[in-house]
Structure 1
């Protein structure tokens, strides 16, 4: 896969995210995708990723802005940096109580691609920053 094709894949993935098109996101993933949840454990497979999306939809409403995507020449590795504009809708286990608080949070992802699909997503954001914003 070329650099341009990987960038196009990730543009489609993030456009689906912003549209709330979970199936569109899943279509960009390999069946055995590895998802490294920020400050969490690795979960594997599209079914687990779909569960994660359902959880996120229940607890958060988010839109990504200022998305910058980078990829190596071979298109096998990529990174994305963006700003998350969100609302905390329902209390997530182990986190502060939700009451619709809004937040703006820089975040990023490290991504592996093979066969035209995302095979690994490693997410990063500063949880302490997010917590400070929602506790206020």
Structure 2
């Protein structure tokens, strides 16, 4: 199952939303940092389109942990990004760059990711893009 998580992150770094969607179950639950849970691939794709418009990000220092039985996994990484377009309720975008630690948690079943939960420090991000 860890292979699916690796494919997911490789697709993220390529900016390949379709390849990310291919890793997900149809009813995937996407728990975003500071936001509502989105259910389904369509909602996930809409989220990715929004993120692509506002941010350019690459993940580095990726470490993936897998629970026994292969039904859950976690990842720790560094987000290296550029703030491209102002996101609702956030500081104005002026091409600022940022670098912050983050993590994701996954549930897996039937060879697909059924849950993605992502955490990062929004206060840290805000301070970096506001400086």
TM-score (norm 2): 0.99
In the alignment, structure 2 segments of 5+ residues that lack a partner are none
Q: How far apart are the structure 2 equivalents of 1:35 and 1:113?
A: 13
How is 1:7-86 mapped onto 2 (pairs within 5 angstroms)? 7-86=2-81
Report the secondary structure of 1:11's partner residue.
helix
Q: CA RMSD in A?
A: 0.5
Deviation at 1:7, TM superposition (A): 1.3
Partner of 1:100: 95
1:114 and 2:115 aligned: no
TM-score (norm 1): 0.95
Q: How far apart are the structure 2 equivalents of 1:122 and 1:21?
A: 19
Deviation at 1:39, TM superposition (A): 1.1
Q: How far apart are the structure 2 equivalents of 1:10 and 1:110?
A: 10
What is the number of residues matched between the two proteins?
Answer: 131
Q: How far apart are the structure 2 equivalents of 1:20 and 1:103?
A: 18
Q: How far apart are the structure 1 equivalents of 2:62 and 2:6?
A: 9
Q: Which runs of at least 4 in structure 1 moved beyond 3 Å after TM superposition?
A: none
Deviation at 1:12, TM superposition (A): 0.6
In the alignment, structure 1 segments of 5+ residues that lack a partner are 1-5
